[in-house]
Amino acid sequence: MNRFFIALIGAMLMAACSNQNPEKNKVNIDDQFNQFKERFVTALWKQYPSWASSVGFHDYDSILTIPNSIEKEATLLFSQKYLDSLQSFDLNALSANNKTDFYLIKNNLESTIWYTKEFDSGSWNPAEYNIGGSFSEILNTNQYAIEDRLRNITIKLKNVGAYYEAAKNNITNPTKEHTDLAVSQLGGALSVFETDIPEATKASKLNEAEKNIIVERCKNAVAAINGFIEFLKALKNEHPRPFNIGKDLYFKKFEMDIQSKFTANEIYQRALKRKKELHLKMYDAAMALWPKYLGKVKTPTDSLTVIRLMIDKLSVNHTHRDSFQSEIEKQIPKLIEFIKQKDLIYIDPSKPLVVRKEPAYMQGVAGASISSPGPYDKNGNTYYNVGTLANYSAAEAESYLKEYNDYILQILNIHEAIPGHYTQLVYSNNSPSLIKSLFGNGAMIEGWAVYTELMMLENDYVNNSPEMWLMYYKWHLRSVCNTILDYSIHVNNMSEKEALNLLMNEAFQQEAEARGKYKRVSLTQVQLCSYFTGFTEIYDLREAFKKKQGNSFKLKQFHEQFLSYGSAPVKYISEAMLGK
Ligand code: ZN
């Protein structure tokens, strides 16, 4: 905290109650704020039951909120009420930890109001109306007995019909892209009600009457979802809303979601600069490898072609489509061993990581992801979800596997698992602040995973091999180009052709990967910037911290302290670690 403010507050408190110690008063303000946070979180779960279930708080598992105008009004009232309570605290009187929580709560509430009133994706994104995940999470938790979970599911199922009627009412001008996504994802969600819940019911100790009700309600849910799919397919939408959201919504969404010290345009400019730097480094690396791999081939004059040819040469080293998942499983213990040996960060051996095939209801956007247990479920499994290649043709699978070749697959595992997302989320759940665990900042989370890729290589992962570095640069270029692509598409109206040119010719991606990324940028906004923005902020912080600590700087200590603040925006962690 600013020393001037401490002195000022101290003086004011002394004046107000001359016999009291100002430090003691400061503690009282933090106590009051802690109580406020408790009230707020308790109310939050009542307001958002599905969110509660997803973080492992199960008091409201039986409630499915119907997304109608009453609900919208309640959301706005809730947010305004808690914003008002929040404003009654003097920010500068709070501890550093509570100050960050104050910012996070404020941002969350203001975002909710903005999303509800201005962004209004409920009217144009039908994929938001997917209840598969919310039911699955209750079915799959191990936090309480399956019979009680099924009883909650029985009650929750009652509202599915009304839920989809409200959804139909809300959809006024959907984009074509989000409509297609909804149709495909809802098709996947059906299996939760056709198979997963009925099978769990059959195997449970519920009595016959209870079993009959749940099976009947599952049938009704299937009918309601199918009804919604039919509604979307039949929708006459001759002038669909374009999927790119335009400058005004984009800048505001960037500010709300990323919470960075950079503006959207500033990080876009940094990304353009980084792309240039990487092309130079990649050219040098490719030229150094040329004699070893392409000795007799004449070196092309165009530097991007030189890089492309070397990447193509190295990319043929990849696993078979059938062993993709098992290869990932094999690499995890090796990464743990390396980190121990180099003393880079403590990894808690009591929290296992389970590699699994991506559940059907998740399919559609990303290829690999981590699902972590929420802060109320510290003993739950962390899953590494791997997208299936089962539906790919031989050519598609080859393209995908060339992209995730033997080098890149290791970097993917660093990013998703160790010491990337999995490690960070374990630390986040141990963070003393529930608020920071709950309002996880996407840019900090993705930035950490991207940062660890470089950090592992800086510490001689795979013996500093030039092949690995070249492939790393290619992978890193992907984060950089994610930012350029997202900004260009949503703000500068970049065309599909230009986008594919950027991804395939300047970022050296395989066609399947590039098309997948284009699909993703047409379905999401801003999120693709989180990787490079978070990375840039964390790297800047590490270098500044190194300077501050001088000879006493220890990488392991930096990592553990950085992660100890929970998934807070990097700008607030920087404030805590460096002072203002
Ligand atoms: Zn990630």
Average pLDDT over residues 204-227: 98
Q: 503: closest CA among 492, 488, 518? A: 518
Q: How many residues does the chain have?
A: 580
Q: How far is CA 111 from CA 39, 121, 247, 254, in A?
A: 20, 13, 17, 11
Q: Over 362-383, what HEC string results?
A: HCCCCCEEEECCCCCCCCCCEE
* Predicted local distance difference test score (pLDDT) of residue 23: 54
Q: 553 lies in which domain range?
A: 254-578
CA 159 to ligand 1 center in whole angstroms: 34
* Predicted local distance difference test score (pLDDT) of residue 109: 98
- 248 inside domain: no
CA 567 to ligand 1 center in whole angstroms: 13
Domain boundary pick from 78, 107, 123: 123
Return phi, psi of residue 344, to 5°. -95, -35
Assess contact for 135 and 192: CB atoms under 8 A.
yes
Which alpha helices (H) appear in 369-494, and where do they start and end? 394-403, 406-416, 421-430, 434-438, 442-458, 466-490
Residues 139 and 103 in one domain: no
Residues 314 and 384 in one domain: yes
CA pair distance 221, 189, nearest whole angstrom: 11
CA 272 to ligand 1 center in whole angstroms: 21
Return the number of other C-beta atoms located less than 10 Å from residue 565's C-beta: 24
Assess contact for 328 and 413: CB atoms under 8 A.
yes
For residue range 266-298, list pLDDT tens digits in order.
999 999 999 999 999 999 999 999 999 998 899
Residues 268 and 236 in one domain: no
Mean pLDDT is lowest, of 42-46, 127-131, 434-438, 489-493, for: 434-438
Residues 38 and 98 in one domain: yes
CA 449 to ligand 1 center in whole angstroms: 6
Residues 221 and 345 in one domain: no
* Predicted local distance difference test score (pLDDT) of residue 5: 37
CA 499 to ligand 1 center in whole angstroms: 21
Average pLDDT over residues 229-250: 94
* Predicted local distance difference test score (pLDDT) of residue 367: 65
Mean pLDDT of the chain: 91
CA 170 to ligand 1 center in whole angstroms: 32
Domain boundary pick from 243, 274, 289: 243
Assess contact for 470 and 286: CB atoms under 8 A.
yes
Q: Confidence band (pLDDT; 50, 70, 90) for 27?
A: low
* Predicted local distance difference test score (pLDDT) of residue 579: 83
- 510 inside domain: yes
Q: Confidence band (pLDDT; 50, 70, 90) for 21?
A: low
CA 528 to ligand 1 center in whole angstroms: 10
Q: What percent of the chain has pLDDT over 70?
A: 94
CA 13 to ligand 1 center in whole angstroms: 47
CA 546 to ligand 1 center in whole angstroms: 26
Domain boundary pick from 214, 243, 272: 243
- 63 inside domain: no
* Predicted local distance difference test score (pLDDT) of residue 1: 35
Residues 481 and 444 in one domain: yes
- 184 inside domain: yes
Residues 138 and 119 in one domain: no
* Predicted local distance difference test score (pLDDT) of residue 521: 96
Residues 403 and 436 in one domain: yes
Residues 84 and 170 in one domain: no
Is residue 176 pLDDT above 70, yes or no? yes
Residues 312 and 460 in one domain: yes
Residue 143 C-beta-side C-alpha neighbours within 13 Å: 20
Average pLDDT over residues 42-58: 95
Residues 275 and 259 in one domain: yes
CA 366 to ligand 1 center in whole angstroms: 10
- 303 inside domain: yes
Number of domains comprising the chain: 3
Residues 9 and 135 in one domain: no
Average pLDDT over residues 174-200: 95
CA 416 to ligand 1 center in whole angstroms: 6
Q: Confidence band (pLDDT; 50, 70, 90) for 390?
A: confident
Average pLDDT over residues 331-350: 94
- 60 inside domain: no
- 270 inside domain: yes
* Predicted local distance difference test score (pLDDT) of residue 294: 94
- 52 inside domain: no
Strand order in the sheet with 368-371: 353-357, 382-386, 368-371
Three-state DSSP at 207 gives coil
pTM for the full model?
A: 0.87
Mean pLDDT is lowest, of 56-65, 359-368, 393-402, 424-433, for: 359-368
Is residue 2 pLDDT above 50, yes or no? no
CA 564 to ligand 1 center in whole angstroms: 19
Is residue 412 pLDDT above 80, yes or no? yes
CA 304 to ligand 1 center in whole angstroms: 27
CA pair distance 134, 190, nearest whole angstrom: 13
Q: Give residue 209's identity as a one-letter amino acid code.
A: A
CA 423 to ligand 1 center in whole angstroms: 12
CA pair distance 158, 64, nearest whole angstrom: 8
